Amino acid sequence: MLCSGAGTTIALTLGAMDSSSSYSELVVDHTTIALLVVDERQRLHFLNSAAEMLLGVSAKKAVGLLLTEIVDIRCEMAEGLQRIMETNHPYTEREVELRLPGGEKIIVDCTLSPLLWQQQGQRTVVELQRMDQQLRLMNEEHLLNQTQASADLLRGLAHEIKNPLGGLRGAAQLLESELNDRSLREYTEVIIGEADRLQLLLDRMLGPNRPPQLRETNIHELLERVRTLVMVEAGDAPLQIQRDYDPSIPDLVADGNLLIQALLNIVRNAAQSLKNSGEIRLRTRIRRQVTIGHNHHRLVCSLEIEDNGPGISEELQKSIFLPMVTGRAEGTGLGLSIAQSIIHRHGGVIECQSNPEKTIFTLLIPLEE
Ligand SMILES: Nc1ncnc2c1ncn2[C@@H]1O[C@H](COP(=O)(O)OP(=O)(O)OP(=O)(O)O)[C@@H](O)[C@H]1O
Ligand SMILES: [Mg+2]
């Protein structure tokens, strides 16, 4: 069956009505644009996978229901649907706000096209393309380039400081061995101690210095290790770390030690923001059809670290993944930039949402088939 959509022609099959067109069915199910078909009473007749994902409802459940029973549409879209029935002309409305069943508001570009197939009454194809995601992708790319440039600069600098620092430490050690007066050794010990501290900082600035060792890794085992570590660090403080895991998530192909380092940096930040008294929630889910950078993934592991701390100011949120950006007096501002670079090395990304009630860091890591 053919329908016109956004100026093009889209091959579309409606379930069992055309079983020979499994190829077009596959195409429709692989597009990232949400496609729905409604009749003149706005009753749903078809949803592709992207529409199921966007609206959070299965086609099985939704077919037969009214569009308004699934999603709260703004009157412009409802009017558009009415108009198309009368005029038979395609119609596009930009940046339409929809409220999803869970209460989440999303911004979509919406194209309505009459279906050129009218054996069983008039049908309209509704194409929904999320625009907030496009904006997210642009921001993500900008951030990625910015983070990469700062990290490269910093790595170069760290590398240059490391060599003379080694020389200074060696000279102080030699001097120490020549000193007969024990009281003077106090000074060389300060030099050696401070050189070691700087060395550790430089090593962190240089980041992981080996290629990731990829193997099948259970994400929940890693989270449990991080949880135990942070609980131990909190000691007797009333910190709570709740778990909300989806046990059906398959193993990731990843470097477990690097992922622990990334997770630890984020969970530690959450514990620090809570001053070890509050709640952290670790949530894992599978997400489908996610675009990270320029790559589209059918299946992605989503890992959320949520805390009910004071949140991150809007100003700080803009640069939080850049190295040396910190909001803590004793912070070095390296934790999140290291975590981001580790997750990038796994083809993923870390996102952050924060308000004065809660902060959520979301790690998206592709699950390759
Ligand atoms: N969950 C959170 N809640 C509130 N603020 C946060 C949270 N996570 C990060 N931040 C803010 O982001 C800043 C940067 O974090 P990042 O981990 O990169 O560096 P840091 O914690 O300051 O130093 P370190 O290198 O020791 O980790 C923190 O200083 C803090 O102000
Ligand atoms: Mg930190």
What is the whole-number distance in angstroms between the Cα of residue 322 and the centre of ligand 1? Answer: 11
H or E element: which one contains 295? Answer: strand 295-307
Which residue's CA is minimally distant from atom 1 of ligand 1? 270
What is the whole-number distance in angstroms between the Cα of residue 152 and the centre of ligand 2? Answer: 20
pTM over 0.75: no
Which residue's CA is minimally distant from atom 2 of ligand 1? 270
- CA 16 from centroid of its chain's CA atoms: 37
pLDDT in the model for residue 324: 87
pLDDT in the model for residue 117: 60
Closest C-alpha among 361, 355, 354 to residue 305: 361
Which residue's CA is minimally distant from atom 14 of ligand 1? 326
CA distance 149 to 137: 18
Whether the CB-CB separation of 71 and 99 falls below 8 Å is answered with yes
Q: Which atom in ligand 1 lies closest to the alpha carbon of residue 328?
A: 29
What is the whole-number distance in angstroms between the Cα of residue 329 and the centre of ligand 1? Answer: 10
pLDDT in the model for residue 85: 75
| Ligand in nearest proximity to the CA of 340 | 1
pLDDT tens-digit readout, 153-182: 888 888 888 888 999 999 999 999 998 888
For ligand 1, whether the C-beta of 259 sits within 6 Å is no
For ligand 1, whether the C-beta of 331 sits within 6 Å is yes
285: left (phi over 0), alpha (psi -120 to 50) or beta: beta
Residue 40, both tokens: 């003149």
pLDDT in the model for residue 104: 75
Whether the CB-CB separation of 259 and 220 falls below 8 Å is answered with no
- Cα 126 to Cα 39, 47, 206, 264: the distances in Å are 11, 10, 50, 44
CA distance 27 to 35: 12
| Ligand in nearest proximity to the CA of 320 | 1
For ligand 1, whether the C-beta of 307 sits within 6 Å is yes
pLDDT in the model for residue 74: 67
Q: Which domains, and CATH codes, for the chain?
A: 2-130 (3.30.450.20), 211-369 (3.30.565.10)
What is the whole-number distance in angstroms between the Cα of residue 122 and the centre of ligand 1? Answer: 56
Specify the DSSP class assigned to residue 43: B
For ligand 1, whether the C-beta of 349 sits within 6 Å is no
Which residue's CA is minimally distant from atom 19 of ligand 1? 333
pLDDT in the model for residue 135: 67
Neighbours of 167 (CB within 10 A): 10
Which residue's CA is minimally distant from atom 5 of ligand 1? 312
pLDDT in the model for residue 73: 72
pLDDT in the model for residue 134: 66
Residues of the chain with pLDDT under 70: 1-21, 74-76, 116-120, 133-137, 369
Residue 195, both tokens: 């050189």
What is the whole-number distance in angstroms between the Cα of residue 149 and the centre of ligand 1? Answer: 20
Which residue's CA is minimally distant from atom 13 of ligand 1? 326
For ligand 1, whether the C-beta of 336 sits within 6 Å is yes
pLDDT in the model for residue 259: 96
Closest C-alpha among 288, 309, 319 to residue 354: 309
